[in-house]
Each structure stands twice: as structure tokens, then as C-alpha cells.
Amino acid sequence: MKFKSYHAESFFDEMFESDGIPRDYANLLVQKIESFPDGELLRRQEAAERALFHMGITFNVYGDHEGREKVLPFDIIPRIVEASEWEWIERGLKQRVYALNLFVDDIYHDQKIIKDRVMPEGVVRSAKSFRKPCVGLNPPHGIWCHITGTDLVRDTDGQIYVLEDNLRCPSGVSYVLENRQVMKRIFPQAFDSCSVLPVEDYPSRLLDTIQYLAPADAAPTVAVMTPGIYNSAYFEHSFLAQQMGVELVEGRDLVVADGYVMMRTTEGFKRLDIIYRRIDDDFLDPLVFHSDSLLGVPGLMEVYKAGRVALANAPGTGIADDKVIYAYVPEIIKYYLNEDILIPNVPTYVCWDEKKLKYVLECLDRLVVKAANESGGYGMLIGPHATTDEREEFARRIQDNPRNYIAQPTLSLSRVPVIAGDCLEGRHVDLRPYVLYGEEIYVLPGGLTRVALKKGSLVVNSSQGGGSKDTWVLSA
């Protein structure tokens, strides 16, 4: 399989400057792939798929067939990020996460940013993800969001933007680790061509980050909390618990007793100190949030408020990934840090603003519309690819509830070659790096490159036919 017939077309290609001319940093890898005998690349691609299948690395698709497991499609041609660009991304993400944490803390305390008229009060008050029970909470070290996954995209002109912040329970990092594992197993020669920064120590970094929530001299009991095996990210929950060597618990394993959160064990009840919860705020504690939830632990929030259990991420962080609030992140960074935003936002039209609403409704065929409080590619309209009926339907929804929608210009996401049948073709990608905030802020070198495997598609979500690639951050 050769790159001879590969066309970058009019898109920004992460691997090629133009047809037949690889980018400097990808040159050796391209040569390596070219040097393979016919069929070799495809054979390895199949071996990788088989390995993932046998490893049982799966996710569940909702609304498909209850708890239906699928292997996340994986393409063995890596996506490369060069050192200097990564250095800039890393700084930009640290800045963003630091500022967003200050913002969350402010919102649940004095709301200075509103008093100083930088952000309209209505935006916060109307945010679905604002959690009243979190007002006045003081998480350890003032850190709310310990684990963040920020979605980055690159437009045709090469500019990288932040597309979305995920400050609740971002998922996907297990694929980053497993993809690398499979690559090393199946395609070791590829690593000769580049010096790639390792991702393997993520679980121990994560454990450090979480343990930082407990007093330094304590030997805390830590657990990952999952909604259970039918959750779409269940594999990841169990993977992270396993890699950190901590318990994986479900709500039914836990009970609040004696002022603490206890696990039911074969030797009776055992105290739990720190929970890395992979369950939404709404389901954490039926006494405080959704009262009909069976997934959570009644009384958990009471124990949390008393400081007798720590939660990562803290409840309430969802306020900062509301898509309307997202539009204010440049102002948030300016306000709290007095700095200009490093990695820009995608220009965003907040439908809540009447003038912008009018523009959005007029230009629906050119815009991407997103519901403010959804993720996973649900509740989204890609104007240029939608039918007239779909656009009209969305126009109605936007007018009914303008606060719940934002619109952005349709970006031509950058592309990376994938193996498509017996040739190589470009597909659109994004990148989700993972940021840990403990004693200091750490950005995992790499992240999840999601790729829209359907030809021409811009939707990279795994629930919507997306796949993934190993992401190689080159060392400086």
C-alpha cells in the first residue's frame, strides 16, 4: 500500500504538506510504511483489530440494543504532533484549565465575575449544569476539576481551536493507553522512525492526582465509581481502576453509615476516602440530585460536605463545559489571569443573544448547531450536511429554547490518512488531550485522536461511527 495515490485535497493534512510531500516530522514514518511489501500494512491493521477484539476493548452504544458492545475501530497509521506545536498546546491547556477552575470556584462562592459584569448573570442562572447544592462547597486545595478532556480541532488554515471543554467525566483515555499498547505490539518498527513521548504513566499520575485530595500523611482508600457494565465507558472505568490498583465500585457496593461512605466487603464494611466518580452529578446522591436514581449513594453529598469523603471531579464542574459558558472562556481567562487566551475558541454564536439568534437562523445551512448541555455528538446539527427538514426542525427547537443552543461556523477539520479497504484515504480528525490538576497541572503528551471513518463525515464520536488512532507527540 503506497501513498502515491493519496490526496490531501483542499484540507489541512496532518501528515502531508501536499500530495506526495510528507511533512518533515512524518517523513521517516512515511518512508517506513512505503518500504513495506504489498499487503503488509493491511495485515498489521487486521492483526491490530484482532488484538483489540480479543482484549475485549469495547464500548456500549446506547439505543442500539441494550448494552451492545462494540470494538472502537482503530487505524494503525498514527497521528503525529510535532514538539513545538505540542509545547504550545500544553501551555494553552494549562492556562485554560487553571482559569476554568477559578471560574467554577467563583461561581459557587462570590460570583465576582458576574458582579464585575464580565459574564451576564442570566447565563449562569439558566445553565442546566449549575448545581445549587454545590454553592459554598470548598473542595480540597480549591481544585474542582481534577480530570479534564479538552477537544481540539484544526481548520484548513492550520489554526488549532478548542472546540469543547469536558470537565465532568471525560472519557477515552483508556483508548489512548490501549492503542499505544497495541501499536507497540503490532507495529514496533514504526517507532524507529520517531522519538515518541510515552503515555504509560498516566494511571500513576491519575492516582497521584486523586490521592492529593487526602491529607498528605493519610493512606486513603481510593475507588473508581462506575454506573455499571452497561455504561458506554464501562471498559474505561474498569481499566483505570485496574491500572491504578484501586477498587471499582458501583452505587450498590456503597452505603453511608456512621458519617462515612462505606464499601460492603466480604469482611464487613470498610471506609472509602476518595472516589474518582465516573457517574454524573445527577446520579450521585438521590437525596440531593435526581431522587429516582438507583446508581448513586443516598447521603453521599452530606458526607462530602462534611469533608469525610473526596470526589474527583467535584460535583458542579459541569457549569464550565456548558456550551454557552464556553463562548465566554476568553473573557474568563482575561478576568482571572489577566492573560490573553492562547488556544482560541471556535467563533461561537450564542442564540441567547437576539442579534446572534437572528444570524444563526438565517445561516443555518452554513453553521454547526449544538445543544448547550449535550455531549457525545447528540443534539447536534451540521448545517451543510443536513436536509431542509432537519434544518427546519432545528430552527424550531432553537426558537423554542434559544438559551440551549449555540452555533459555530462549520470547520473543515484537518485530515490524516487511514487505511480504507486497499488504499489510503484522508479522514477528518480531532484531538482530545487529557489534563490532570493535582499538585500541579499535567497534560498527557498525546491524547485521543478521534477519526470520522465515514468518508466525508465530520462526526468523530464513537457513538456515531468514529474510530481512533494512536497519537504521537514527538520529543523536543
Q: Which residues bind another protein (CB under 8 A)?
A: 53-56, 224, 228-229, 234-235, 237-242, 247-250, 252-253, 255, 257-258, 262-266, 268-269
State which residue, 39 or 245, has the beta carbon closest to another protein: 245
Strands of 138-296, DSSP E: 147-154, 160-166, 222-225, 247-249, 254-257, 260-265, 268-272, 274-277
Q: How far is the CB of 231 from another protein (least distance, A)?
A: 11
Q: Is 114 exposed, middle or buried (0-12, 13-18, 19+ CB in 10 A)?
A: middle
Question: In whole angstroms, how close is the CB of 46 to another protein at the nearest point?
Answer: 16
234 versus 326: smaller Cβ distance to another protein: 234
Minimum distance between the CB of residue 176 and another protein, rounded to whole angstroms?
17
How many residues belong to the chain? 476
Cell numbers linked to 445: 503528551
Q: Considering beta carbons, is residue 164 or 250 the nearer one to another protein?
A: 250
Q: Are 262 and 270 in contact (CB under 8 A)?
A: yes
**Parallel/antiparallel/unpaired status of strands 380-382 and 367-371:** antiparallel
Which of 221/464 has CB closer to another protein?
221
- Specify the residue, 268 or 456, whose C-beta has the smaller distance to another protein: 268
* Contact criterion met (CB below 8 Å) for 238 and 174: no
Bridge partners of 405?
371
248 or 350, CB closer to another protein?
A: 248
Output Rg (C-alpha) for the chain, integer angstroms: 23
- Residues 277/240, Cβ–Cβ less than 8 Å: no
Enumerate the β-bridge partners of residue 417. Answer: 426
Provide the residue type at 460 as one letter. Answer: V
Q: Give the nearest distance from C-beta 57 to another protein in angstroms.
A: 10
Residue 205: enclosing H or E segment and its boundaries? helix 202-211
Q: How far is the CB of 251 from another protein (least distance, A)?
A: 11
Query: What does the alpha-carbon distance between residue 411 and residue 161 come to, in Å, rounded to a whole number?
Result: 10
- Shortest separation between residue 247's beta carbon and another protein, angstroms: 6
Query: How far does the chain reach from its first CA to its final CA, in angstroms?
Result: 30
ω into 60 cis (within 30 of 0): no
Distance of closest approach, residue 240 Cβ to another protein, in angstroms: 8
What is the H or E stretch that residue 244 is in?
helix 234-244
- Dump the DSSP string for 67-90: T-EEEPPEEEEEEEE-HHHHHHHH
Which CB, 238 or 461, lies closer to another protein?
A: 238
How far apart are CB 227 and another protein at their closest, in Å?
12
Query: In the complex with another protein, which residue's Cβ is closer, 238 or 412?
Result: 238
- Decide whether 190 or 244 has the Cβ nearer to another protein: 244
Distance between CA 401 and CA 403 in Å, rounded? 6
CB of 255 to another protein, least distance (A): 6
